């Protein structure tokens, strides 16, 4: 495994490897088993695996969040090596945003402006879109790997890749969870033991919605009430519990096809997000609604 810090060195390292498939796994470091899922998917499919580690200041809309973000490069490099990564691209901010940098890749519409885009502000997905575009152009991979945990990020990246015609296949890996159901996240290390227990209400709320939808409830408001009850029992007031189209993030009025249920909530001072796709319960929902 080699570690490169500049786009020039990354391109040099990749020059002789382009006959085979190149996979890119973009990360912000603080690697955990969620990231491992992506690295293993890339290792299984590609000849060369590139992992990038870059805490992208542009996508942080809270300075305190950026300051508190875990930085664990030595452990990250050890884990990357163990997972068979060939090249780690770990640039500094000046390499990604050199003096005079003045370009923003900005995806518009509900996909980037609702939910995380609304809560964290426009700059969040602008920062994500800009850095992912730069990483894709730096590595020019055949495939790039992202986690379903950040479903809206995936939708934003899908949009920009299609709109800009970037020749890369996007691979979305399922959300990796701890045994108790909590979605793995670099931010989980900030939870106190008590907060961590309360945070379990988030996957439980998603499960309650899944169960209710499977039982034929197709009204998002009725489904939301199930989620709210579970969250409230643990003292969690969500920023949002949303029922949206998984691609466009437009809100849906009835769950009659696969719908993304997304939750964001603060537990203590730690902001957590999670989501699931609820399967259509169309047959039963239609029957209950009298065929309408």
Considering only residues 4, 13, 14, 28, which one is a binding residue for ligand AMP as defined by CB under 6 A? 28
Q: Is 209:278 a contact under the CB 8 Å cutoff?
A: yes
The mark string for 98-137 relative to ligand AMP (x by CB under 6 A, - otherwise) is: ----------------------------------------
Query: Is 35 a known active-site residue?
Result: yes
Q: Which is nearer to ligand AMP, 57 or 216 (CB)?
A: 57
Q: Choose one: 106-114, 116-124, 175-183, 223-231; the region binding ligand AMP (CB under 6 A).
A: 175-183
DSSP single-letter state for residue 16: T
* Rounded CA separation 263/106 (Å): 24
Considering only residues 10, 27, 39, 49, which one is a binding residue for ligand AMP as defined by CB under 6 A? 27
Query: For residue 289, what are its two tokens?
Result: 């609604």
Q: Which is nearer to ligand AMP, 48 or 56 (CB)?
A: 56
Q: Is 7:94 a contact under the CB 8 Å cutoff?
A: no
Q: Is 34 annotated as a binding residue?
A: yes
* Residue 38 makes contact with ligand AMP by CB under 6 A: yes
Q: How far is the CB of 52 from ligand AMP (least distance, A)?
A: 9
Residue nearest to ligand AMP (CB): 147
Q: Choose one: 33-41, 92-100, 244-252, 260-268; the region binding ligand AMP (CB under 6 A).
A: 33-41
Q: How far is the CB of 217 from ligand AMP (least distance, A)?
A: 27
Nearest 5 degrees, angle CA 271-CA 276-CA 280?
150
Spot the catalytic one: 22, 26, 27, 35.
35
25: β partners: 51
* Rounded CA separation 189/171 (Å): 27
Burial of 215 (0-12, 13-18, 19+ CB in 10 A): exposed
User: Which residues, other chains included, contact 160 with Cβ-Cβ below 8 Å and sequence gap of 6+?
Assistant: 105, 107, 129, 132, 133, 166
Question: By rule CB under 6 A, what count of residues binds ligand AMP?
Answer: 17
| Dihedral sign, Cα of residue 160, residue 253, residue 150, residue 278 | negative
263: β partners: 241, 274
Considering only residues 22, 35, 77, 152, which one is a binding residue for ligand AMP as defined by CB under 6 A? 35
Q: How far is the CB of 51 from ligand AMP (least distance, A)?
A: 9
* Residue 147 makes contact with ligand AMP by CB under 6 A: yes
Q: Which of 212, 190, 208 is nearest to 199 (CA)?
A: 190
**Widest distance between CA atoms in the chain:** 64
* Residue 52 makes contact with ligand AMP by CB under 6 A: no
Q: Choose one: 16-24, 32-40, 70-78, 265-273; the region binding ligand AMP (CB under 6 A).
A: 32-40
Coil, strand, or helix at residue 218?
A: coil
* Rounded CA separation 4/71 (Å): 17
Q: Choose one: 93-101, 111-119, 182-190, 242-250; the region binding ligand AMP (CB under 6 A).
A: 182-190
Compute how many other C-beta atoms are within 10 angstroms of the C-beta atom of residue 79.
Answer: 19
Binding residues: 28-35, 59, 147-150, 153, 184-187
Residue numbers of the site for ligand AMP (CB under 6 A)?
A: 27-28, 34-35, 37-38, 146-147, 149-150, 173, 175-176, 183-186
By annotation, the residues acting in catalysis are 35
Binding residues for ATP: 28-35, 147-150, 184-187
């Amino acid at each position: 495994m080699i570690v490169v810090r500049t786009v020039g060195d990354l391109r040099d390292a990749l020059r002789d490897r382009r006959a085979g498939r190149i996979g890119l796994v973009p990360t912000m470091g603080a690697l955990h088993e969620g990231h491992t899922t992506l690295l293993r998917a890339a290792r299984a499919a590609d000849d060369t695996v590139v992992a990038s580690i870059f805490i992208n200041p542009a996508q942080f809309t809270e300075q305190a969040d950026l300051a508190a973000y875990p930085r664990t490069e030595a452990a990250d490099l050890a884990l990357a090596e163990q997972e068979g990564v060939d090249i780690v691209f770990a640039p500094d901010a000046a390499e990604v945003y050199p003096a005079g940098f003045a370009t923003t890749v900005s995806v518009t519409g509900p996909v980037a402006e609702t939910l995380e885009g609304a809560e964290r502000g426009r700059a969040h997905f602008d920062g994500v879109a800009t850095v992912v575009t730069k990483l894709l152009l730096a590595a020019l991979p055949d495939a790039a790997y992202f986690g379903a945990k950040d479903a809206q990020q995936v939708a934003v990246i899908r949009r920009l890749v299609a709109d800009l015609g970037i020749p890369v296949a996007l691979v979305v890996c399922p959300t990796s969870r701890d045994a108790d159901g909590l979605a793995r996240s670099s931010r989980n290390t900030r939870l106190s033991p008590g907060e961590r227990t309360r945070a379990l209400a988030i996957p439980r709320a998603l499960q309650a919605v899944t169960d209710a939808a499977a039982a034929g409830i197709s009204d998002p408001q009725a489904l939301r009430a199930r989620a709210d009850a579970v969250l409230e029992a643990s003292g969690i007031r969500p920023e949002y519990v949303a029922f949206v189209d998984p691609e466009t993030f437009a809100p849906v009025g009835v769950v009659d096809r696969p719908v993304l249920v997304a939750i964001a909530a603060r537990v203590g001072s730690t902001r957590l997000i999670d989501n699931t796709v609820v399967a259509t319960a169309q047959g039963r929902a239609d029957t209950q609604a009298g065929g309408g």
